[in-house]
Amino acid sequence: MLVTDLTLRFDPEFEKISRRFLNDPQAFNEAFARAWFKLTHRDMGPKSRYLGPEVPKEDLIWQDPLPAATHQPSAEDIASLKTAIAGAGLSVSELVSVAWASASTFRGGDKRGGANGARLALAPQKDWPVNAIASRVLPTLQAIQRASGKASLADIIVLAGVVGVEQAGRCRRASASMCRLPPGRVDALPEQTDVESFDLLQRWRMASATIAVSKAVFSTETLLIDKAQQLTLTAPEMTVLVGGLRVLGANYDGSKHGGVYRPRRRAQQ
């Protein structure tokens, strides 16, 4: 017998569980069915991806459930929101940083994280040190959401990134093309968020900010390449993305390090 087998009998806590299942087979059947369903469906992503007549009606916390969308913003709504964001007194780096903080937790492998749900404003993400700038910007965006009366915070966060990129283009006398995005994101509730499970995404969020990850098994560089894969980007695409963030000043904790060389500086070297 393995140590795990013996633990079920001799460990004080596991022994209680084993006794309960022995005396209540129905409880064991229920627990096993739920555990097996989670094992075989966890990496499929949200429940909306399930197909067939046997999709359970119950929403489970590990499925990262979201409320149904009740409003689809029109082109006029989006234009009004962008005007409000542009006039909120936020810098380009703040606008881009909050949008990137929201999007960068996405994992293509199991469809977790990302901007939909606006979980950046919920625990545990709002308390991560790497999201300090985003946490300072969110109250301003939440005020814009309240004033709109119907827009989701998730859409406003993404629009903030769009406004930041467009403002950066104008500041550099470039033709800032209108960034198009499909609206209709929703905001998750605290009771729809597994705090302990989401907290495991923090090291990948830190890797996306290219800062050292404490107690990490892999190097930050390795985590960054893994992050590119999770975002469904190639390594060159991730390089361009990180470079763009640096150009726009979206650095960790507002750091001035890790910028880009200007032509004059290159010529002097």
Mean pLDDT of all residues in 157-165? 95
Shared domain check, 123 and 250: yes
Sign, CA torsion 86/89/92/94? negative
Shared domain check, 80 and 37: no
| Domains in the chain, number | 2
Shared domain check, 249 and 139: yes
pLDDT band at 218 (very low <50, low <70, confident <90, very high): confident
pLDDT tens digits, 163-211: 999 999 876 444 444 566 788 899 999 999 999 999 988 876 776 665 5
pLDDT the model gives residue 143: 98
Percent share of the chain, pLDDT over 70: 87
Shared domain check, 57 and 80: no
Establish if 96 belongs to a structural domain: yes
Shared domain check, 79 and 48: no
Shared domain check, 109 and 149: yes
Distance separating alpha carbons of residues 64 and 259, to the nearest angstrom? 36
Backbone phi and psi for residue 117, each to the nearest 5 degrees, phi listed first: 105, -20
Establish if 158 belongs to a structural domain: yes
Establish if 127 belongs to a structural domain: yes
pLDDT tens digits, 52-106: 999 999 999 999 999 999 989 998 999 999 999 999 999 999 999 999 999 999 9
pLDDT band at 135 (very low <50, low <70, confident <90, very high): very high
pLDDT the model gives residue 269: 42
Establish if 160 belongs to a structural domain: yes
Shared domain check, 36 and 140: no
Residue pair 62/38 in contact by the 8 Å Cβ criterion: yes
Half-sphere exposure of 112 (CA within 13 A, CB side): 21
Shared domain check, 213 and 80: yes
Domain that residue 196 falls in: 75-254
pTM above 0.95, yes or no: no
Establish if 124 belongs to a structural domain: yes
Give the CATH number of the domain where residue 131 resides.
Answer: 1.10.520.10
SS3 208: helix
Shared domain check, 27 and 140: no
Establish if 230 belongs to a structural domain: yes
SS3 112: strand
pLDDT band at 260 (very low <50, low <70, confident <90, very high): low
pLDDT the model gives residue 136: 96
